[in-house]
Amino acid sequence: MILAPDDKGLYCPAGDFHIDPWRPVKKAIITHAHGDHARPGSKSYLCALPGERPLSLRMGGSVQTLAYGERLTIGNATVSFHPAGHVLGSAQIRVEVGGEVWVVSGDYKREPDSTCELFEIVECHTFITESTFGLPIYRWQPADQILNDIRSWWQGNAKDGKTSILFCYVMGKTQRIMAYLKKYENDIGKIYAHGALQQMNEAYRQSSVALPTAPNPVDMEAKHNFSGALIFAPPSAQGTPWMRRFKKQVTGRASGWMRVRGRRRRLAIDRGFVLSDHADWPQLLQTIADTGAERIIATHGSTATLVRFLREQGLAAEAMVSTPWEEAEEM
Ligand SMILES: [Zn+2]
Ligand SMILES: [Zn+2]
């Protein structure tokens, strides 16, 4: 076994490192800076070069980096990062020991995203794939269409003098939508971002992702009029007193989970946009086939259905528990 879970995370004995550990370790190699993959407290962190700023922001210190495709020898293992197309700096981690190749996908998607590099197929013997949306009901509409829906939703609200509040994950979703809307900021209205998004937006800007100015609404004078504006906010801001400053408001949320009608209702928002940074069911199957792997390990989310399906196709497939907090929300 080149990689196997121990009590701290996915461990590589040949290189004495962990990938995305959930407890502090000596050497942590990180697929990307989302909270369910990157946790503070480890002695050292290594990530793909474009992920440096988001990861150091979240880990509260400096991190080591390696450019995509560059190889690093750690003990008896050779490690390299390859674009996962999920969020800025997200990587699949390729680990080679004695000619055997394993790839840990981290989270990934196959569609283009202007805020990060396109997913790259990496051939391997064993592929550890995420399975967040590993059920046949998950099939995404093209992202361009959803982004366009968000734009017309904002435009319609602005015409009615309303303020649009869009709840998105702090890292990734917010910046992906913001980058797309940048060219409309003066035509439709102004764009603002909740205080909890400011640092991550800045980390993206410093990584050469073009985003709208998006000031913090709290910094505006008391009588400031937000009519026609689009306000980005983290899901945790919903229902807080912070929202009272926006008079005629309409709420929306962008997430792959908006595919599930019950969730949408429970969240009590006006509009759900099914925009995901994860592979849907067809993308998962396509990617697994593309890697040429003879062994698939599914982790994260709905693994049972995916494993059963792959076994029916004659592949060696199994599920692996990724963290003790499997359902942890992605932030
Ligand atoms: Zn993620
Ligand atoms: Zn994740």
Q: Which ligand is nearest to the CA of 36?
A: 2
pLDDT above 70 as % of the chain: 97
Q: Which ligand is nearest to the CA of 132?
A: 2
What average pLDDT is seen over the chain? 94
Poorest-pLDDT segment among 164-178, 268-282, 317-331: 317-331
Cα(93) to ligand 1 centroid in Å equals 14
Rounded to 10 deg, the angle between the 195-206 and 52-59 helix axes is 140
Which CATH fold would you assign to the domain 143-273? Answer: Rossmann fold (3.40.50)
Cα(218) to ligand 1 centroid in Å equals 28
Tens digits of residue pLDDT in 253-296? 999 888 887 777 777 899 999 999 999 999 999 999 999 999 99
Cα(216) to ligand 1 centroid in Å equals 25
Give me the pLDDT at residue 261, please.
Answer: 73
Q: Where are the alpha helices (DSSP H) in the chain?
A: 52-59, 143-159, 173-181, 185-188, 195-206, 261-267, 281-291, 303-312
What pairing do the DSSP bridges indicate for beta strands 316-320 and 295-301? parallel
Tens digits of residue pLDDT in 198-215? 999 999 999 999 999 999
Q: Any idea where the domains of the chain sit in the sequence?
A: 4-138+277-320, 143-273
The pLDDT-based confidence of 327 (bands split at 50, 70, 90) is: very low
> Rounded to the nearest 5°, which phi and psi values hold at 250?
-130, 135
The pLDDT-based confidence of 301 (bands split at 50, 70, 90) is: confident
**Whole-prediction pTM value?**
0.95
List the structure tokens of 23: 């407890």
Cα(245) to ligand 2 centroid in Å equals 33
What pairing do the DSSP bridges indicate for beta strands 17-19 and 10-12? antiparallel
Cα(238) to ligand 2 centroid in Å equals 22
The 3 state secondary structure assigned to 214-248 is: CCCHHHCCCCCCCCCCEEEECHHHCCCHHHHHCCC
Tens digits of residue pLDDT in 217-244? 999 988 899 999 999 999 999 999 999 9
Q: Is residue 20 over pLDDT 70?
A: yes
Owner of token pair 């989310």: 301
Give me the pLDDT at residue 268, please.
Answer: 83
Which CATH fold would you assign to the domain 4-138+277-320? Answer: Metallo-beta-lactamase; Chain A (3.60.15)
Cα(36) to ligand 2 centroid in Å equals 5
Cα(109) to ligand 2 centroid in Å equals 12
Q: Which ligand is nearest to the CA of 130?
A: 2
Q: Which ligand is nearest to the CA of 51?
A: 1
Cα(32) to ligand 1 centroid in Å equals 7
The pLDDT-based confidence of 330 (bands split at 50, 70, 90) is: low
Give me the pLDDT at residue 325, please.
Answer: 52
Q: Answer whether 103's CB lies under 8 Å from 34's CB.
A: no
Average pLDDT over residues 144-161: 97
Average pLDDT over residues 19-46: 97
How far apart CA 209 and CA 228 sit, in angstroms, is 25
Cα(298) to ligand 2 centroid in Å equals 13
List the structure tokens of 158: 């602005």
Instruction: Please list, in sequence order, all residues whose beta carbon lies within 8 angstroms of the beta carbon of residue 263, skipping any fewer than 6 positions away.
Output: 257
What residues have a C-beta under 5 A from ligand 2, the ion? 36, 107
Give me the pLDDT at residue 326, please.
Answer: 47
Owner of token pair 């993206």: 204
Give me the pLDDT at residue 254, please.
Answer: 94
Q: Compute CA distances 193 → 111, 230, 257, whole Å.
A: 25, 9, 22
Cα(156) to ligand 1 centroid in Å equals 31
